[in-house]
Amino acid sequence: MKAFKESILKLIIETSTNLPPDVRRAIAKARVDEEVGTRSSLALSTIAENIYMAETEQQPICQDTGMPTFEIHTPVGANQIVMKQAIHEAIAEATKLGKLRPNSVDSLNGKNSGNNLGPGTPVIHFEQWEKDEIEVKLILKGGGCENKNIQYSLPTEFEGLGKAGRDLDGIRKCILHAVFQAQGQGCSAGFIGVGIGGDRTTGYQLAKEQLFRKADDVNPIPELADLEAYIMEHANELGIGTMGFGGKVSLLGCKIGVMNRLPASFFVSVAYNCWAFRRLGAIIDADTGEIKNWLYKEDAAVEQQSAIEEAVKQSDEGRVVLQAPITEEQIRSLRVGDVVVINGTMHTGRDALHKYLMDHDAPVDLQGGVIYHCGPVMLKKEDGNWEVKAAGPTTSSREEPYQADIIKKFGIRAVIGKGGMGPKTLKGLAESGAVYLNAIGGAAQYYAKCVKNVDDVDFLEEFGVPEAMWHLQVEGFVAIVTMDSHGNSLHADVLDDSGKKLSDFAGTVFK
Ligand SMILES: O=C(O)C[C@H](O)C(=O)O
Ligand code: SF4
């Protein structure tokens, strides 16, 4: 088993940087189905380019490398203690190499362990089997999509959809609602795993296990195969689109599993995974610890090169260039739907910083400035300077309680993130003369390339790498105005429209 740690390290790096063929196929199909020239198709092109960049440069597809979750089958009698130790070492090393972001945070004091190890991290499930080889499957599921998981208890009643009973049709309503409530915040278009039955814990476990199925397999249970097909067809009529920009593709895969339940309980648990569906596996020799073959890679990958060509072809025409610091006049001239290109300084800031800024001064002047909701992957170079390894946006809605006040207090003109913000921020944008820009979630390589220099960092010790305030020089950072300073919000519109469409599915389908 000498090579086991190296094999796990390879698996982690490959999972973080190279999407499997079935996922790529689903994204390639979405690009064909989505209307050319729309915001969603622009987002999909960026996503395809990002996938290509991550693979060729062996860097994380998304800056949130998620909760590493291992599902392992071992021969009877294999030493699981030794395996666990090797997995921990491989996780720490992958973090040091910048292939994983330090993602393990003490829930009481907010301290980041710095190496992805700590109580509860990583997640490792062992199971014995009769074979004499080891099977290791790994999923890296990010926090933004994890926040969009949802569990229903039947019977229930949904606004628009009506009553959902303890039957297949009730389950159908839960799943449609799960896609609706996620909107673009889990970096749609997404993949969902559904667990029917179990208790609150095993239901979610079953839902997550479904994510280990191939995106294009067929459910062996005929009723569930029908339900999966129905959901794939109709969830895509909700019009949520990529990143919640509105469009034809909202869901890339739906996998449903079932288990027994207690007479009193009927849970439908839904695990939502973003398009950056990082899931791989390997068969490992139990004597040597070497990888014998990869799982999920049996068929050829889809060529992503065309995305690059298309992105190069896209001209800058119609794009508004913003040089930070930005004036109020420039901001007031922007409208929802405008594509902007940002140059100059931007400051990262997310949960810890927003809370801090409410009752403290900022360490730098933020007048006319740009705040980027982002927790990057950073590596310190030998010369002491920092290098950005991955830097896509994080879900902005978490900052809703603070954002309007922070904009006003510091004179911020632009907030960049993903998934949109709520009515309080929309009002704040109008009052203060600021704008919300939606970057493409998960496009961490694409945006890392826009960073030309890391000027400085604040709160690194206190908040850890993802939550620190990084001061970045950027060039050519493309984002879309989705909330302007005139009271318009694309997110509110898409929520409204998709809510109306959801009501169209109230009638019984599965008797
Ligand atoms: O923590 C992050 O960087 C992002 C998170 O995965 C998100 O989707 O908001
Ligand atoms: S930022 Fe988006 S793509 Fe990345 S982990 Fe979060 S939900 Fe997934």
Residues 217-248 pLDDT 10s: 999 999 999 999 999 999 999 999 999 999 99
Rounded distance from Cα 167 to ligand 2 centre (Å): 33
Q: Whose CA is nearest to atom 8 of ligand 1?
A: 144
Residue 310 has a pLDDT of 52
The rounded mean pLDDT for the chain is 95
- pLDDT-wise least confident of 19-28, 30-39, 79-88, 324-333: 30-39
Rounded distance from Cα 142 to ligand 1 centre (Å): 6
Rounded Cα gap, residues 143 and 133, in angstroms: 32
Q: Is 414 helix (H, G, I), strand (E, B) or coil?
A: strand
Q: Which two tokens stand for residue 89?
A: 């070492």
Rounded distance from Cα 185 to ligand 2 centre (Å): 9
What is the pTM assigned to this prediction? 0.95
Q: Whose CA is nearest to atom 7 of ligand 1?
A: 144
Looking at all shown ligands, the one closest to residue 273's CA atom is 2
Rounded (to 5) percent helix, strand, coil in the chain: 35, 25, 40
Instruction: Determine the average pLDDT of the residues in 251-280.
Output: 98
124-150: pLDDT as tens digits: 999 999 999 999 999 999 999 999 999
What pairs with residue 193 in β-bridges? 255, 271
Q: Is the CB of 186 under 6 A from ligand 2?
A: yes
Q: Are 267 and 150 in contact (CB under 8 A)?
A: no
ipTM rounded to 2 decimals: 0.99
Q: Which two tokens stand for residue 162?
A: 């009506």
Q: Are 389 and 379 in contact (CB under 8 A)?
A: yes
CA distances from 405 to 412, 458, 463 (A): 10, 21, 21
Q: Is the CB of 64 under 6 A from ligand 2?
A: yes
Rounded distance from Cα 468 to ligand 1 centre (Å): 14
CATH 3.20.20.210 fits 315-490, yes or no: no
Whether cis (ω within 30° of 0) applies to the bond prior to 155 is yes
Amino acid at residue number 509: V
**pLDDT grade for 299, boundaries at 50, 70 and 90:** confident
Dihedral of CA 273/147/177/194: which sign?
positive
- Euclidean distance between the first and final Cα of the chain, in Å? 53
Rounded distance from Cα 242 to ligand 2 centre (Å): 13
395-446: pLDDT as tens digits: 999 999 999 999 999 999 999 999 999 999 999 999 999 999 999 999 999 9
Cite the residue boundaries of each domain of the chain with CATH code 3.20.130.10: 315-490
**pLDDT surpassing 90 at residue 207:** yes
**pLDDT grade for 308, boundaries at 50, 70 and 90:** very low
Q: Which atom in ligand 2 lies closest to the alpha carbon of residue 185?
A: 7
Q: Whose CA is nearest to atom 1 of ligand 1?
A: 64
Which of 47, 63, 440 has the most ligand 1 atoms within 8 A of CB, as the residue to mutate?
63
Residue 387 has a pLDDT of 95
Residue 302 has a pLDDT of 58
Q: Is the CB of 441 under 6 A from ligand 2?
A: yes
Which of 394, 445, 467 has the most ligand 1 atoms within 8 A of CB, as the residue to mutate?
394
Rounded distance from Cα 268 to ligand 2 centre (Å): 23
Identify which of 476, 392, 398 has the alpha carbon closest to the alpha carbon of residue 442.
392
Amino acid at residue number 111: K
Looking at all shown ligands, the one closest to residue 397's CA atom is 1
Q: Which atom in ligand 2 lies closest to the alpha carbon of residue 392?
A: 1
Q: Which residues line ligand 1 (CB under 6 A)?
A: 63-64, 142-144, 187, 375, 394-395
Rounded distance from Cα 418 to ligand 2 centre (Å): 10
Q: Whose CA is nearest to atom 3 of ligand 1?
A: 64
Rounded distance from Cα 47 to ligand 2 centre (Å): 12
Q: Which atom in ligand 2 lies closest to the alpha carbon of residue 394?
A: 1
